[in-house]
Amino acid sequence: MIYFDNSATTKPYPEVIESFMKVTSDYFGNPSSLHGLGVQSEKLLSAARKQIADLLKVKSSEIYFTSGGTEGNNLAIKGAAHAQGNRGKHIITTAIEHPSVEDACQSLTRMGYEITYLPVNEFGQIDVTDLKDALREDTILVSVMHVNNEVGSVQPIAEVGKLLKQYPNVLFHVDNVQGAGKVSLSLSEANVDLCTISGHKVHGLKGTGILYVREGVRVDPLFHGGNQETKIRSGTENVAGIVALSKALRISMNNQLLYHDKLQQIKTYLYKGLKEMDGVLVNSPEEGAPHIVNFSVPGLKSEVLLHALESEGIYVSTTSACSSKKRTVSKTVDAMYHHSARSESVIRISTTYGNEMEEAKQVLAAIQKIVANLEKIMRVAK
């Protein structure tokens, strides 16, 4: 099996599962309980928080645990919008955000918020001058993803942060679900106020995630209840998942230091190989994240190619995993190229640490063979 769908989810590291098992069976106390079992769980929780804060070079008190990327993005956007709503009702985001950002913003329009969507160029990047032009008196929040989940384009987060530093009333949220552990981002240098990370994209477990909230930034909770996570996120903490997440993030960031070049080599190999292939258009920018290559075979429906690859034991995605059930076109590819045949036939390959060049060679050969075969059968017009 060749698993090249790591942007949908990653396989948890064995050490991470080990930690989860041990904590969930040996330290099952509720961290809010006053007795010793509770104290132990609370210690584990604060140690995990500290480790994550150290890895992200922020303070422990700025780390909040969530159930994953979707909750993190919703909490950041709706929570910040509700807390700042009396100052303004304008939010700026991009045309290529993940649905959990896009739809969270969309849901606010029913409460009178206005959303501006920034366009992207053919490299899948926004232009900071567009953002500057879009800023208004009543803008309260700018939400820009770090690494795009479909094509892997990397947004100029540091530049956006530099611009927004001059607008102290505008909060800056970054969806870093796809970037964490793969593309470096300094939260302090980029003046980020809110940042979402998901556990299962960094070889942790599903149902875990992090929202970074800069000290002094007010966010209204989505969940009310026992006032856990300093009232921002009520609900008994998933201690085992959180400890596992702190380990997963540590190992992933460590692997980033050690194996970034190897990941990049595999991507470059896939990118170049696909670029040279007949009938194939590469959608990812060459300068994008080192783990995502997105391509189209215009005229060939994504799903057909996906299943053909599956029969060879190769697992990839059409668009993003979350949208793929809707049978829609790729939003990002559409925003980049405005070409429907291209955005309807999208395949995303996403790798991670531990993938080998040999696998990439097999995948490329398989694509070549399948595309040639299918084009004959389906009489793809060239």
| Residues tagged active-site | 322
Nearer to another protein, 230 or 264 (CB): 230
Report d(CA 90, CA 92) in Å as an integer. Answer: 7
Where would I find the beta strands (DSSP E) of 146-244?
171-175, 194-198, 209-213
What's the closest the beta carbon of residue 129 comes to another protein, in angstroms? Answer: 17
| Site mask for another protein (CB under 8 A), range 53-92, x = bound | -x----x-x-------------------------------
Q: Cβ–Cβ contacts within 10 Å for residue 59, how many?
A: 14
What's the closest the beta carbon of residue 103 comes to another protein, in angstroms? Answer: 35
262 phi/psi in degrees, rounded to 5: -65, -45
Asked if residue 148 binds another protein (CB under 8 A), the reply is: no
What number of chain residues touch another protein (CB under 8 A)? Answer: 22
Q: Are 247 and 15 a contacting pair, CB within 8 Å?
A: yes
Nearer to another protein, 47 or 304 (CB): 47
Site for another protein in 1-60 (CB under 8 A): 19, 22-23, 34, 36, 39-40, 42-44, 46-48, 50-51, 54, 59
| Nearest Cα to Cα of residue 375 among 319, 312, 301 | 301
Site for another protein in 209-268 (CB under 8 A): 243, 246-247, 250
Q: Are 197 and 72 a contacting pair, CB within 8 Å?
A: yes
One-letter amino acid of 292: I
301 phi/psi in degrees, rounded to 5: -65, 140
Q: Are 70 and 96 a contacting pair, CB within 8 Å?
A: no
Nearer to another protein, 257 or 377 (CB): 257
What's the closest the beta carbon of residue 159 comes to another protein, in angstroms? Answer: 16
- CA-based diameter of the chain, in Å? 71
What's the closest the beta carbon of residue 48 comes to another protein, in angstroms? Answer: 7
Report d(CA 160, CA 231) in Å as an integer. Answer: 30
What's the closest the beta carbon of residue 61 comes to another protein, in angstroms? Answer: 7
| Site mask for another protein (CB under 8 A), range 299-328, x = bound | ------------------------------
| Nearest Cα to Cα of residue 50 among 249, 186, 206 | 249
User: Contact residues for another protein (CB under 8 A)?
Assistant: 19, 22-23, 34, 36, 39-40, 42-44, 46-48, 50-51, 54, 59, 61, 243, 246-247, 250
